[in-house]
Chain A
Amino acid sequence: MIPLSWLIALSAVVFAIGVVGVLVRRNALVIFMSIELMLNAANLAFVAFASHLRSLDGQVFVFFVMTVAAAEVAIGLAIIVHLFRLRETVFVDEIHLLKG
């Protein structure tokens, strides 16, 4: 049996890497990948607690998170493709229409 704290620590590390990716990178696609990393870190925490509590509810929740992630990726990539058609770039620094 793997200790719960190791799993939660691993989940925290992966989540922090995802946060750094979102903050550091400018490429919208890589930012999306970092968001996926964060979602997976949350999933790992869910599975860890489900295994620790010996309950299946956490695993079912991960299933729903995966569904939402799939929908989010499909829509997000469609938006990025559309943005690329309009502005010829995927770098978030050059997409600043909302900047005052």
Chain B
Amino acid sequence: MLAVLFFGFAALLVVTSLMVVLHKNPVTSALFLVLAFCSLAGIYLLLRAEFLGMVQIVVYAGAIMVLFLFVIMYLNLQHDVETGLQIAVRRGIGWFVGALMLLTGGVLLKRGWALGPANEVLPDVERGNVASIGRVLYSRYLFPFEVTSILLLVAMVGVIVIARGRSRAGRTEAVEGGAR
């Protein structure tokens, strides 16, 4: 049963990721990406990472993809036009590099480099996944967690500064430059 579910989610993930890359319309790509994230959340649930599965849906499929769709709508993008010899050559190079990466991954997979389990039982059997992650996050990883808040603050300030664009100061400079 677990294997059937895994193969279903894996097939969905691979097909939707391919559609993200191959589809010409950015909106359709974004919607396929939502589906890819949802199937990934399903795989997380199969691996008993319930917290990450939920966060995947809420943060990725919810927040990040809404941001993507808003930007696509704001920019009013049409279908991509991708023709010409240069594009064809680069597309060939892209697929070649992708195949090469896949081959490298396959070679690495042949080696048995995975260690055995560190613990005999899952550390979260008695408390549940969310409680265990919270316990680890607020004890051993407390400092990285706090640093994350600074990262988000910096990102927020940066986004506001960038999205505001050249404010009045820059515009008057441009006008003066034109007058000169």
Contact = CB atoms under 8 A, between A and B. Distances in A.
Interface of A: 1-2, 4-10, 12-27, 29-30, 32-34, 36-37, 40, 43-44, 47-57, 59-60, 62-64, 66-75, 77-82, 84-85, 90-91
18 contacts: A2-B3, A2-B47, A5-B109, A8-B105, A10-B13, A18-B21, A19-B97, A20-B94, A20-B97, A24-B94, A26-B82, A27-B80, A29-B68, A30-B80, A71-B151, A72-B155, A75-B158, A85-B165
The 4 closest A-B pairs by CB, nearest first: A23-B94, A12-B105, A71-B155, A20-B98
B152 A71 contact: yes
Contacts of A20: 21, 94-95, 97-98
- From A59, A71, A74, name the one whose CB has the most chain B CB atoms within 10 angstroms: A59
B148 to A, nearest CB: 5
A87 to B, nearest CB: 12
Nearest to A62: B52
Given A16-B98, A75-B162, 15 more contacts: A8-B109, A9-B105, A10-B43, A19-B101, A23-B94, A30-B20, A30-B80, A32-B68, A33-B29, A34-B21, A40-B37, A49-B114, A55-B123, A63-B55, A78-B163
Contact of B165 (A9, A10, A82): A82
A10 B102 CA distance: 10
B59 to A, nearest CB: 6
Interface of B: 2-3, 6, 10, 13-14, 17-18, 20-21, 26, 29-30, 33, 36-37, 40, 43-44, 46-49, 51-52, 55-56, 59-60, 63-64, 67-68, 71-72, 74-75, 77, 80, 82, 87, 90-91, 93-95, 97-99, 101-102, 105-106, 109, 114-115, 117-124, 129, 132-133, 136-137, 141, 144, 148, 151-152, 154-156, 158-159, 162-163, 165
Given A26-B82, A53-B115, A60 B133 contact: yes
Given A5-B109, A20-B94, A71-B155, A66 B117 contact: no
A70 B59 contact: yes
Contacts, number: 221
Nearest to A6: B6
A78 B162 contact: yes
